[in-house]
Amino acid sequence: MAGEAQTRGGGCQCGRVRFEAEGTPIWVAHCHCADCRKATAAALATYAGFLREKVRFPAGQPADYPSSPGVTRRFCPDCGTPISFESERWPEETHLFVCTFDDPESFEPQGHVYVSEQLSWLHLGDDLPRNQKTS
């Protein structure tokens, strides 16, 4: 709905950490980089980028660590679910994981990033734009 601020909720697997993101994501994309693979233990990570000011943590305080210079990754201190990615490269954005939202179906990925690092055995049938790095 145009002009209507939608709020989406999500959280970690054990339920301790909850987050809310208001409005439409700036972008939704699959990341194939090796850092995201390690941080999520998955072949790729699907993110929704939101304005940082639109993301709240109504319950539970996530823990965090610097996964590389200028990058902060948050996670649930109890169950370990990855919660967010923030980088000095995009100081106004918080990147949340689509699959930790309560309704991951409500997101529509628009493309792939870091396909230069994609695993060779991962074969995907979509025809979304594929970026070697971030653009």
Applying CB under 5 A, the residues found at the interface with Zn ion are 12, 14, 16, 31, 33, 36, 76, 78-79
Q: How far is the CB of 86 from Zn ion (least distance, A)?
A: 13
Q: How far is the CB of 1 from Zn ion (least distance, A)?
A: 31
Q: How far is the CB of 53 from Zn ion (least distance, A)?
A: 23
Q: How far is the CB of 132 from Zn ion (least distance, A)?
A: 13
CA-wise closest residue to 81 among 38, 36, 33, 40? 40
- Choose between 3 and 45: whose C-beta lies nearer to Zn ion: 45
CA-wise closest residue to 44 among 104, 99, 125, 106? 99
Cα end-to-end distance, the chain, whole Å: 29
- Choose between 6 and 58: whose C-beta lies nearer to Zn ion: 58
Q: How far is the CB of 11 from Zn ion (least distance, A)?
A: 7
Write down the residue that tokens 């109504």 correspond to: 58
- Choose between 6 and 128: whose C-beta lies nearer to Zn ion: 128
- Choose between 24 and 131: whose C-beta lies nearer to Zn ion: 131
Using CB atoms within 10 A of its CB, is residue 120 exposed (0-12), middle (13-18) or buried (19+)?
exposed
- Rounded CA separation 63/44 (Å): 22
- Choose between 16 and 52: whose C-beta lies nearer to Zn ion: 16
CA-wise closest residue to 83 among 6, 18, 8, 9? 18
